[in-house]
C-alpha cells in the first residue's frame, strides 16, 4: 500500500569538470564532441528512469476510484486487520455502498488518527439507513468526546424519542437548549418529546419560548394550538389554529383542532363543518374519520358512525380510542353482542397500556421490567 518515495535524480545537476588537452585543435574538437554526446545520452537516460518508475508507482490516492477500490479490497483480503486500509475504503465507498462502508469504519480503533471521523461516519450512515442500534453507541461516543456539539445531542434525543424512551430523550433535548437557548428548533424538540410523553401542560413553556424566538414558526403555532386545546385553554387553541389555517388553508390538523374545539363547546354543526372540510382534503385521514364518527355518535347517528368506522377495523384494531368509538356505534345500532365484545377488547387494550413503563419511570425501571419479561 505504501509506495517508496521517488529517488533523487543523481544526474540532474551533473557538470563534468573541464579537462585541459595539450594536443592539436582537431583532436580536442573530436574528443569534446564525443564527450558532449555521451553526457547528453547518459543524462537523458537517467532523467527518464525515475519518471517512468514513478508512473508505475503512482500513489493510491491519485488513481481512479474504481482502481483504488479494487486495490484496497485486494489488500484487505491479505491484511484483514489493517484499520488504515479499512478507513480508506470506507471513505471511498460510503456513498455508493453504505452498508459495506459501515463495516469498514467499524474496524477503525481508537489508535487511528481519524478514529472520531470514523465514528461520526458510522453514526451518519446508521441514521440514514435506519439502524438505530448501530447509531446510538456511535453517537454516545461522540457526545462524550464533543459535549458542545449540538448535532450529536439532537440526534440522540430523536433516536430515543422514536423508541419511546422519553426520559432519555428529554435529557439530550435539554442539553441542546442549554447549549443554544436562542434556537427555536431546540425548544420545539423539547415540546415534541413532552407531547409524546403525555406531559401536555409542560409543553407550554418551551412553546412560548419558541414563539418568542420565532414568531412566524408554523410548527410552534400548531403545537401551541394542540397544547392549549388539551389543557383546556380553548381561546388560545382557537386563535393558534386559525392562525395556522390562514398560513396553510389545507391544513387538516388545524381543521381537526377547530372541530374538536367546537365539539368541546357543544357546537356540533360547526364542528362537523370543519371536519368535513378536512375530509375533502384528506378523505382517508384516520384522526379526522375518528372525530367525524364521534360527532355522529353525539348526534345519535349510530348507523352512519358504524358504517364509517367498521371498514377500519383490520388496520386499527389495537387502537383503544377507535375500539371505544366502534363499541359505542355498535351499541347505538342495536348490535349488543358485538358492542360487548368490543368493550372487552377495549379493556384489554387499556390493561396493556397500563403495563407499559410510564414515561415518568426511570430507565432502570424500564430495564428491570424488560428483564422480567
pLDDT in tens, 102-116: 999 999 999 999 999
Last residue within a domain, chosen from 275, 299, 323: 299
Specify whether 241 is located in the same domain as 293: yes
231 in Cβ contact with 207 (< 8 Å): no
What are the φ/ψ torsions at residue 80 (nearest 5 degrees)?
-65, -15
pLDDT given at position 65:
80
Among 37-41, 271-275, 324-328, name the one with the lowest average pLDDT: 37-41
End-to-end CA distance of the chain: 52
Do 295 and 276 contact (CB within 8 A), yes or no?
no
Supply the pLDDT for residue 144: 96
Please report whether residue 320 resides in a domain. yes
Domain that holds residue 262: 232-299
Quote the cell numbers at residue 100. 459495506
**pLDDT averaged over every residue in the chain:** 83
* pLDDT tens digit sequence for 161-179: 999 999 999 999 999 999 9
Same domain as 240, residue 256: yes
Instruction: Indicate the pLDDT class of residue 353, thresholds 50, 70 and 90.
Output: confident
pLDDT, one tens digit per residue, over 7-20 is 333 333 333 344 44
pLDDT mean over 117-121: 96
Q: Which residues contact 287 (CB under 8 A, 6 or more apart)?
A: 256
Q: Is the pLDDT of residue 280 over 60?
A: yes
Q: Which of 253, 277, 299 lies at the terminal end of a domain, its last residue? A: 299
Is 154's pLDDT higher than 50? yes
- Decide which of 357 and 361 is more confident: 357
Task: State how far the Cα of 233 lies from the Cα of 240, in Å rounded to an integer.
Answer: 11
Residue 351: per-residue pLDDT: 86
Where does the pLDDT of residue 56 fall: very low under 50, low under 70, confident under 90, or very high at 90 and above?
very low
Asked whether the beta carbons of 199 and 227 are under 8 A apart, the reply is no
Check residue 258 and report its DSSP letter. Answer: H
Instruction: Choose between 68 and 192: higher pLDDT.
Output: 192
CATH of the domain at 260: 1.25.40.10
Same domain, 320 and 345: yes
Note whether residue 215 is domain-resident: no
Q: Please say if the pLDDT value at position 96 is more than 80.
A: yes
DSSP state for residue 310 in the 8-state scheme = G
pLDDT of the residue at 66: 84
244 assigned to some structural domain: yes
CA atoms 55, 57, 61, 65: torsion sign: positive
Q: Is residue 310 part of a domain?
A: yes
What's the burial of 22, exposed, middle or buried (CB within 10 Å: 0-12/13-18/19+)?
exposed
Tell whether 218 is covered by a domain: no
Please indicate, yes or no, whether residues 323 and 272 belong to a single structural domain of this protein.
Answer: no
Place of cell 356540533: 268
Answer whether residue 258 is part of any domain: yes
Confidence (pLDDT) at 372: 42
Query: What is the total count of domains within the chain?
Result: 2
Of 174-178, 245-249, 254-258, 364-368, the poorest mean pLDDT is in 364-368
Cell of 175: 442539553
What does the pLDDT average to over 85-99?
93
Average confidence (pLDDT) over 208-217: 98
Residue 62 pLDDT: 53
Residue 357 binned pLDDT confidence (cut-offs 50, 70, 90): low
The answer to whether residue 187 is domain-embedded is: no
Cα 143 from Cα 175, distance rounded (Å):
11
Beta strands, E only, 228-338: none
Q: Determine, yes or no, domain membership for 23.
A: no
| pLDDT for res 270 | 97
pLDDT of 373 strictly over 70: no
- Of 276, 299, 322, the residue at which a domain comes to its end is 299
**pLDDT confidence of residue 356:** 60
Has residue 202 got a pLDDT over 80?
A: yes
Q: pLDDT > 90: what percent of the chain? A: 72
Residue 242 has pLDDT above 90, yes or no: yes
Cα 132 to Cα 161: distance, rounded to the nearest angstrom? 11
- Whether 126 and 106 have beta carbons less than 8 Å apart is answered as no
Same domain, residue pair 312 and 345: yes
Indicate if the pLDDT at residue 326 is higher than 50.
Answer: yes
C-alpha cell at 128: 440514514
Say yes or no: 313 and 295 in one domain. Answer: no
Are 261 and 292 within one domain?
Answer: yes
Task: For residues 286 and 328, state if they share a domain.
Answer: no
Burial of 256 (C-beta count, 10 Å sphere; 0-12/13-18/19+): buried
Same domain, 253 and 291: yes
8 Å CB contact between 75 and 68: no
- Choose the weakest-confidence range: 19-28, 212-221, 325-334: 19-28
CB atoms within 10 A of CB 86: 24
Amino acid at each position: 500500500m505504501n509506495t517508496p518515495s521517488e529517488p533523487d535524480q543523481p544526474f540532474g545537476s551533473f557538470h563534468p569538470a573541464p579537462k585541459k588537452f595539450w594536443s592539436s585543435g582537431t583532436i580536442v574538437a573530436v574528443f569534446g564532441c564525443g564527450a558532449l554526446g555521451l553526457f547528453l545520452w547518459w543524462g537523458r537516460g537517467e532523467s527518464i528512469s525515475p519518471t517512468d518508475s514513478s508512473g508505475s508507482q503512482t500513489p493510491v490516492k491519485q488513481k481512479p476510484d474504481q482502481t483504488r477500490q479494487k486495490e484496497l479490497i485486494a489488500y484487505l483480503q491479505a491484511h484483514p486487520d489493517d484499520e488504515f486500509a479499512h478507513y480508506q475504503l470506507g471513505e471511498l465507498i460510503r456513498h455508493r455502498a453504505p452498508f459495506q462502508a459501515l463495516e469498514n469504519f467499524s474496524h477503525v480503533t481508537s489508535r487511528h488518527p481519524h478514529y472520531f471521523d470514523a465514528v461520526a461516519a458510522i453514526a451518519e450512515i446508521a441514521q440514514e439507513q435506519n439502524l438505530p442500534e448501530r447509531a446510538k453507541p456511535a453517537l454516545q461516543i461522540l457526545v462524550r468526546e464533543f459535549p458542545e456539539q449540538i448535532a450529536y445531542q439532537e440526534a440522540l434525543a430523536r433516536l430515543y424519542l422514536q423508541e419511546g424512551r422519553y426520559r432519555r430523550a428529554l435529557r439530550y433535548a435539554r442539553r441542546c437548549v442549554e447549549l443554544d437557548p436562542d434556537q427555536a428548533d431546540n425548544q420545539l424538540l423539547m415540546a415534541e418529546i413532552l407531547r409524546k410523553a403525555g406531559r401536555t401542560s409542560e409543553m407550554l413553556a418551551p412553546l412560548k419560548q419558541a414563539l418568542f424566538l420565532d414568531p412566524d414558526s408554523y410548527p410552534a403555532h400548531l403545537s401551541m394550538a394542540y397544547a392549549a386545546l388539551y389543557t383546556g385553554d380553548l381561546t388560545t387553541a382557537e386563535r393558534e389554529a386559525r392562525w395556522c389555517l390562514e398560513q396553510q388553508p389545507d391544513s387538516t390538523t388545524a381543521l381537526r383542532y377547530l372541530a374538536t374545539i367546537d365539539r368541546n363547546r357543544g357546537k356540533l354543526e360547526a364542528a362537523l363543518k370543519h371536519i368535513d372540510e378536512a375530509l375533502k382534503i384528506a378523505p382517508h385521514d384516520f384522526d379526522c374519520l375518528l372525530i367525524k364518527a364521534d360527532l355522529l355518535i353525539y348526534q345519535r347517528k349510530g348507523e352512519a358512525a358504524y358504517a364509517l368506522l367498521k371498514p377500519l377495523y383490520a388496520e386499527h384494531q389495537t387502537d383503544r380510542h377507535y375500539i371505544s368509538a366502534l363499541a359505542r356505534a355498535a351499541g347505538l345500532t342495536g348490535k349488543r353482542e358485538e358492542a360487548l365484545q368490543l368493550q372487552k377488547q377495549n379493556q384489554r387494550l387499556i390493561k396493556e397500556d397500563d403495563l407499559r413503563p410510564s414515561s415518568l419511570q426511570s430507565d432502570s425501571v424500564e430495564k428491570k421490567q424488560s428483564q422480567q419479561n
